[in-house]
A and B are shown apart, each in its own frame.
Chain A
Amino acid sequence: MEILFNIFIQPFIEMFTAPDLLIQVLWEGFVSGTLYALIALGFVLIFKASGVFNFAQGIMVVFGALSLVGLYSLGVPAYVALALCILIMFLLAATVERFVMRPLVNQEPIILFMATIGLTFFLIGFGEFVFGGEPKLMITEELGLPTGSYDIEAFGGLIILQQIDISAALIAGAMVAALAVFFNKTRIGRALRAVADDHQAAMSVGITLQQIWVIVWFAAGIVALATGIMWGARSDVSFALQIIALKALPVLILGGLTSIPGAIVGGLIIGLSEKMLEFYWGPMLGGSIESWVPYFVALIFLWFMPQGLFGERIIERV
């Protein structure tokens, strides 16, 4: 009886009696969700264009952020370092296309997936060789990002909104919107969608596959860089950040591998649900349930929607 009370009654009493904490939890879930969505977006972009599940997306987050703080530590001004980092992400995209993707055209998806695993370990080793393994401080203030907080007294308590979290949500939102416009309204975006539908058909109408791949890997690189900056500002920049990228997996299960809106909605659902469940139900289960709850939530959705929330329904003629 007590268990039932703790599951079905107690959490809601807490929500009602301490609404400031409820809002705080929802806010933290929202911020985490937007950042998960951003990571998931990197996966979706590459999967849409090439059918490759890019295992290296997590290390690209670390690599982008490390390049930025590494260049800054060499005396390069923050904004110049940021511009150079964007260039580095472009060079990475072009290198990956030329030396990883191009030789594997028409291979099975699993081969391409394995290649991205190889790429992950190469980038880990290369990153540690160039930047060292020790954590670095994100140059938050130097980039003009705010570091203070807004303290709002409401509902008999205090709601603390970190300015960096507000920035993260805004930047993530802006990037998602820009990418959505880019892929829906521009010629390259339409070409990308054509490639996603059918490689050979796209090539037959004059779309260059190599060019598209460079563009999507570059776009995924920019997304990774933005995620690295935001998450690095919340903690520090270390190789541990790549673990965060694993959080994109339940988002992708939920939202579908090919849908940009799916990544956004999936990210928000995972972010909000994991924070709510950890905060209100976690202590009853021994805590630290955030590690597995997102997968559980995603699996529940899959029962009802096997293609994910926005995934394409696959109908094949037999």
Chain B
Amino acid sequence: MRLKYLALAAGAAAMMAGSLVTVPASAQDKIYIPLLTYRTGPFAGSGTVIADGLHDYFTLLNERDGGIGGVKLEVEECETGYNAQKGVECYEKTKGKGAIVYNPYSTGITLQLIPKAPVDKIPVLSMGYGLSATAVGEKFPWTFNAPATYWSQMSAIIKYIDTQGGVKGKKIGFIYLDVGYGREPIPILEELSKEMGFSVLKVPVGVKEMQNQSSHWLQVRKERPDWMIMWGWGAMNPTAIKEAVKIRYPMDKFIGVWWSGGNVDVRPAGKTAKGYLSANFHGTGANFPAIQDILKHVVDKGLSQAKRETVGDNFYNRGVMNAVVTAEAIRTAQKLTGKKVINGEDMRKGLENLDITAERLKEIGFDGFTNPIKVTCKDHAGAHAIYIQQWDGESWSKVSDWIEPMRDRVRPKLEAAANAYVKDKPGWQTQSCS
């Protein structure tokens, strides 16, 4: 009996000693960033490239600069398969390791994490996805969606169409993945259709039908919309583009959300997809000094899972941009708090005071890569402007200037949606921004 207690005591002591030895080592020397990624499942085509971009920029900072502010970054991927349940499991598994921020890479997972963020004091950065209303910082102090929301993007796309012959009296088709993500911009699209006098043809595509869209596109053929907007993801995108080609829909009247503009989306259709348009908020290609550094310090050293030829792809650069926003927020947090190793609360401050100017972009090797981003207490989306790119059969080229969203129309709607979200949640943490 005595021996048993001795063994238990020894075990407990060993565990405590272990924790005393290991916790300070990871907590003091590193900044822990969990990445909720998906390299498997039906959405792996897009998810893998984004994960590579995210991973490679953080690796570059470690390899070239020794981390951020002299602190190395500890990056750990957790596979979600784009599944909200698995995403939450990843969150629960990693939050105790000192996570400073979560990039869920799924609107479904983001919706699950929004209420958890203020409780666990770890901010959520849903860069260009998630719940649009979280741009309202007063109501969502812990969630950020810089550089733009789905609603601002939709308004910018409509603005672009308006410059190409007007929208009044036109019919705009909206084909979307029939999940939370795809349905997210519908409220603003319907509002704008009433205000600007165009009609909307909604074409939902179920997850099971992602690669089986012939009847959806026959619907498009029957209704003959003047423009088509797509809110697709994963295997839905290349199938939709191929089906559009099949029914002879004019590619230069077909605009994808920024998640429907990957190289993996247009390659299956190849040259027949020539003319296809998509929204974007960052540059494509590898002709940026920082991307060249990734090739030199990460890819060529065998520290990346990416194939060399995919570096610079649209979605690869999306992952890089996400890592840039995260890294710059860490720097801001370090400056504001005077701490080298920051926690989730510090990171929230960093994100809320993020100011990536054109000069700063040049300084870090991303001159002209994106529009300057300035996040404030009130506005968690930051920049908002987008541009339209076009597929020429081999690569993307920019075919519009930066398009500002219809702020006057979008902001009141975002505020109304934010108010509606928190209305039935007593005790919801808000903040006042003066």
Contacts and interface: CB of A to CB of B under 8 A. Distances in A.
Interface stretch (B95-103, B161-169, B216-224): B216-224
A14 B210 CA distance: 26
Interface stretch (B3-11, B17-25, B39-47, B152-160): B39-47
B208 interface: yes
Main secondary structure of the interface of A (DSSP, over half): helix
Interface string B184-223: 0000000000000000001111111111101110110110
B206 A290 contact: yes
A76 to B, nearest CB: 19
Contacts of B214: 28, 31-32, 275
Contact of A290 (B39, B209, B239, B248): B209
B264 interface: yes
A235 B222 CA distance: 22
A283 B219 CA distance: 9
B208 A135 contact: no
Contact of A286 (B44, B204, B209): B204
A241 B239 CA distance: 11
A58 to B, nearest CB: 12
Contacts of A18: 222
A213 interface: no
A241 B241 CA distance: 17
Contacts of A235: 211, 235, 238-239, 242, 268
Contact of A240 (B203, B211, B222, B264): B211
A275 B242 CA distance: 18
A84 interface: no
B208 A241 contact: no
B247 A160 contact: yes
A288 B209 CA distance: 8
Nearest to A292: B206
B178 A288 contact: yes
A10 B208 CA distance: 28
A238 B248 CA distance: 25
A57 to B, nearest CB: 16
A243 interface: yes
B238 A135 contact: yes
Nearest to B210: A240
B48 A133 contact: yes
B219 A290 contact: no
30 contacts: A21-B218, A21-B221, A25-B215, A28-B215, A128-B39, A128-B44, A133-B39, A133-B47, A134-B45, A134-B48, A134-B264, A135-B268, A137-B267, A149-B246, A234-B211, A235-B238, A240-B41, A240-B43, A240-B211, A240-B235, A243-B207, A244-B211, A275-B214, A275-B215, A278-B216, A278-B219, A287-B219, A290-B206, A290-B208, A291-B209
Interface of A: 14, 18, 21, 24-25, 28, 31-32, 124, 128, 132-135, 137, 149, 160, 162, 231, 234-236, 238-241, 243-244, 246-247, 274-275, 278-279, 282-283, 286-288, 290-291
Given A133-B44, A134-B45, A282-B215, 10 more contacts: A18-B222, A133-B39, A133-B48, A235-B235, A236-B235, A239-B44, A241-B235, A278-B216, A288-B206, A290-B215
Interface of B: 39-45, 47-49, 178, 202-212, 214-216, 218-219, 221-222, 234-235, 238-239, 242, 246-248, 264, 267-268
